[in-house]
């Protein structure tokens, strides 16, 4: 049974890029559920990235923050991608993958 309650989570574009990398690109379609609305909105937000620009322009883009509406199922999915899923490439997982994602406690506190 899925929980349809949504939670607004503010993410930097760095965080959105990490979520998309670990949930979509690195898992090569092996993780179901990454075609939901919030993933589409995150992809659209990343598509706003400046096509040309120096480091300063790109860094400012990635530091911008946006709010996204996650269902409880989507929150669990992102947690699973960033923390629980074994590395399909067999390489050591970098710690940065969850640096930009709030912990379950922070998410629960923001829902109150």
pLDDT tens string for the chain (112 positions)? 444 688 899 999 999 998 998 888 887 777 788 889 999 999 999 999 998 878 999 999 999 999 999 999 999 888 888 776 666 666 666 666 667 788 777 777 766 5
Euclidean distance between CA atoms 73 and 109, whole angstroms: 17
pTM score above 0.85: no
36-42's contacts with Cβ under 8 Å and 24+ in sequence apart are 36/71, 36/74, 37/69, 38/68, 38/69, 38/70, 38/71, 38/74, 39/74, 41/68, 42/11, 42/16, 42/68
Euclidean distance between CA atoms 67 and 56, whole angstroms: 23
């Amino acid at each position: 049974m899925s929980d349809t309650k949504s939670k607004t989570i503010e993410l930097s574009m760095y965080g959105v890029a990490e979520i998309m990398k670990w949930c979509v690109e690195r898992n090569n379609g092996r993780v179901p559920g990454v075609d939901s609305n919030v993933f589409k909105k995150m992809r659209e937000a990343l598509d706003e990235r400046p096509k040309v620009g120096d480091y300063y322009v790109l860094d400012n883009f990635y530091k911008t923050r946006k709010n996204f509406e996650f269902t409880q199922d989507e929150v669990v999915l992102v947690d699973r991608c960033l923390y629980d899923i074994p590395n399909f490439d067999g390489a050591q997982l970098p710690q940065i993958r969850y640096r930009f994602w709030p912990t379950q406690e922070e998410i629960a506190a923001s829902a109150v």
